[in-house]
């Protein structure tokens, strides 16, 4: 039996995951302890056949479950490795563990593993998800579970740590291949995160770790969380999504990866922000005698309305472009000749850009899709130049958001005008200063999208704050139960 370390695993209905994990660590001959929270499938049978020690504990959240695990098993080894059931130890990490000796790590109390996260069978390589270090191996009776977190669980150890950059664990929750499971799970998580953040506003929670950008991986996370809490709600999910997609190259993860980053960075955090406002507003308005838990109704209505509107408008644009194109799959001559708003928008952009250039003394020659300035070359306005995707995103958000009709319409029209005004400025700058012959790797579409989305995020924040000031009352006394 391994005398260096033991494993602790938490489970709930993990019959599709547990055999995979147990098989990956079987050669290590280590004691295995499982905390289960009432599994009704074959999890307990699998655990029994594997010779593991099982305790039952009702699930509240991950920090309290891990706290129970570390305090209630009779661990005989100096180290414990704490894994989720949907994780797997890779052969490279297994080899490091086979060679592990406590005497070689006497001044170390914790070891970080490197995680590879999978979503629908795809490794999420970008968007801040790789490398991603988790403190999974801790010195027993020294490391502990951070109970100051409500959902985002971590272990804490005093003293020195090591980071095994090549010590990979693989994490893939096969249940999340069903998107309904993913959405339901993260809706529950959003309740925990929203409640926790409100409690932090009221100084009912503190951070256990010292926030340090240049510290351990978890200390850096603590520092980034402080920054996150100071950012404006509703704007920060959009800013974070843009940051992950473009600055952290999440866009390189392909279609599945982009879906993951949208759901995890924008959708989930937008729900959290809506629920934070619901909690604050409800607690202010209700008397102690009538206080009830905050509901999820308006939050879910807004999010679902936004997603539905975005999908409808995006797909409609995609269909219309095909319907207005003689070579398109769904070509409709009447639409192409009489209701072609895409052609109209392009004409407005081309003529507006030409007008600005002429205002500054340049000659501009135009046709239906091209703009030429003698001595400066030609730019061609293809569909991706028109800003339709940005307009769809902005329009869906504004229309779905529960605000009064008149200010909503004024903001919507003004916002669309502002987006295309900035688009015209882009075309002017491209015409005058962009040399397409130079291989600079300059992608003006990406740069424009980043700038526009950041501007939209800030504009939406101030619009929401002005329209619903009563929901932004972090500094007022609030009774949270």
5-174 is classed CATH 1.10.10.10: no
Give the pLDDT confidence score for residue 373 in this predicted structure. Answer: 87
Q: What is the DSSP letter of 99?
A: T
> Which of the four pLDDT bands, split at 50, 70 and 90, describes residue 438?
low
Q: Which residue has the higher pLDDT, 265 or 459?
A: 265
Candidates 196, 222, 206, 181; CA nearest to 275 is: 196
Give the pLDDT confidence score for residue 450 in this predicted structure. Answer: 79
CA distance 412 to 313: 15
Reported as a single tens digit per residue, the pLDDT across 37-82 is 999 999 999 999 999 999 999 999 999 999 999 999 999 999 999 9
Reported as a single tens digit per residue, the pLDDT across 347-390 is 999 999 999 999 888 998 998 888 888 888 888 888 888 889 89
Reported as a single tens digit per residue, the pLDDT across 153-167 is 899 999 999 999 999
Q: Kindly report the average pLDDT of the chain as a whole number.
A: 87
When pLDDT is averaged across residues 111-130 and rounded to a whole number, the result is 96
Give the pLDDT confidence score for residue 437 in this predicted structure. Answer: 57
> Which of the four pLDDT bands, split at 50, 70 and 90, describes residue 205?
confident
Helix axes 388-400, 444-467, angle to 10 degrees: 10
Domain ranges of the chain: 5-174, 312-469
Whether 478 shows a pLDDT value over 70: the answer reads no
- List of residues 6+ apart from 471 with CB closer than 8 A: 277, 280, 281
Whether 477 shows a pLDDT value over 70: the answer reads no
CA dihedral 448, 260, 309, 413 (to 10 degrees): -20
Reported as a single tens digit per residue, the pLDDT across 306-359 is 888 999 998 998 898 888 888 888 888 888 888 889 889 999 999 999 999 998
CA distance 179 to 182: 5
Whether 296 shows a pLDDT value over 60: the answer reads no
Whether 301 shows a pLDDT value over 90: the answer reads no
Give the pLDDT confidence score for residue 476 in this predicted structure. Answer: 39
When pLDDT is averaged across residues 18-33 and rounded to a whole number, the result is 97
Whether 204 shows a pLDDT value over 90: the answer reads no
- The distance between the two most distant Cα atoms of the chain, rounded to a whole number of Å, is 84
Give the pLDDT confidence score for residue 328 in this predicted structure. Answer: 81
Candidates 151, 152, 12, 157; CA nearest to 84 is: 12
% residues pLDDT > 70 (the chain): 91
Element at 138 (helix H, strand E): strand 133-139
Give the pLDDT confidence score for residue 173 in this predicted structure. Answer: 96
Whether 452 shows a pLDDT value over 70: the answer reads yes
pTM score of the predicted model: 0.69
CB-based contacts of 39-48 (< 8 A; 24+ apart in sequence): 39/11, 39/12, 39/13, 39/14, 39/15, 40/13, 41/13, 41/14, 41/15, 42/15, 43/11, 43/12, 43/13, 43/14, 43/15, 43/18, 46/15, 46/18, 46/19, 46/22, 47/11, 47/18
- List of residues 6+ apart from 106 with CB closer than 8 A: none
Whether 23 shows a pLDDT value over 90: the answer reads yes
Q: Which residue has the higher pLDDT, 432 or 19?
A: 19
Whether 151 shows a pLDDT value over 90: the answer reads no
Element at 97 (helix H, strand E): helix 91-98
């Amino acid at each position: 039996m391994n005398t260096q370390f033991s494993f602790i695993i938490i489970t709930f209905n993990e019959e599709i995951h547990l055999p995979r994990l147990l098989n990956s660590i079987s050669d290590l001959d280590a004691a295995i302890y499982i905390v289960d929270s009432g599994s009704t499938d074959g999890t307990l049978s699998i655990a029994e056949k594997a010779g593991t020690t099982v305790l039952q504990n009702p699930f509240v959240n991950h920090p309290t479950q891990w706290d129970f695990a570390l305090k209630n098993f009779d661990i005989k080894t100096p180290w414990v490795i704490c894994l989720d059931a949907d994780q797997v130890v890779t052969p490279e990490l297994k080899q490091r563990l086979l060679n592990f000796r406590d005497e070689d790590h006497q001044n170390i109390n914790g070891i970080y593993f490197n995680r590879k996260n999978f979503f629908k069978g795809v490794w999420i390589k970008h968007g801040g998800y790789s490398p991603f270090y988790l403190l999974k191996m801790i010195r027993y009776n020294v490391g502990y579970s951070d109970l100051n977190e409500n959902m985002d669980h971590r272990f804490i150890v005093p003293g020195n740590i090591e980071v095994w950059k090549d010590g990979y664990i693989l994490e893939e929750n096969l249940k999340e291949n069903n998107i309904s499971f993913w959405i339901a799970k993260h809706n529950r998580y959003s309740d925990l995160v929203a409640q926790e953040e409100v409690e932090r506003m009221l100084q009912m929670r503190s951070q256990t770790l010292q926030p340090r950008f240049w510290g351990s991986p978890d200390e850096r996370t603590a520092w980034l969380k402080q920054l996150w809490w100071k950012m404006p709600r509703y704007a920060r999910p959009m800013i974070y999504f843009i940051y992950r997609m473009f600055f952290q190259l999440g866009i390189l993860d392909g279609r599945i990866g982009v879906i993951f980053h949208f759901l995890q960075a924008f959708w989930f955090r937008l729900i959290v922000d809506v629920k934070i406002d619901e909690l604050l507003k409800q607690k202010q308005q209700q008397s102690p005698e009538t206080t009830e838990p905050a509901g999820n109704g308006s939050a879910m209505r807004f999010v679902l309305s936004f997603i539905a509107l975005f999908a409808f408008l995006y797909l409609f644009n995609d269909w219309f472009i095909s319907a207005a194109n003689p070579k398109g799959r769904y070509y409709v001559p009447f639409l192409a000749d009489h209701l072609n708003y895409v052609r109209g928008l392009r004409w407005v952009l081309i003529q507006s850009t030409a007008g600005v250039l002429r205002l500054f003394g340049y000659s501009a020659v135009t046709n239906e899709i091209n703009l030429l300035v003698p001595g400066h070359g030609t730019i061609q306005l293809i569909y991706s130049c028109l800003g339709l995707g940005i307009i769809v995103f902005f329009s869906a958000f504004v229309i779905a958001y529960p605000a009064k009709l008149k200010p909503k319409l004024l903001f919507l029209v003004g916002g669309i005008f502002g987006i295309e005004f900035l688009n015209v400025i882009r075309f002017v700058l491209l015409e005058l200063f962009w040399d397409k012959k130079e291989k600079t790797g300059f992608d003006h579409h990406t740069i424009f999208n980043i700038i526009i989305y950041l501007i939209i995020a800030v504009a939406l924040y101030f619009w929401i704050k002005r329209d619903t000031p009563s929901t932004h009352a972090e500094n007022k006394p609030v009774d949270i139960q």
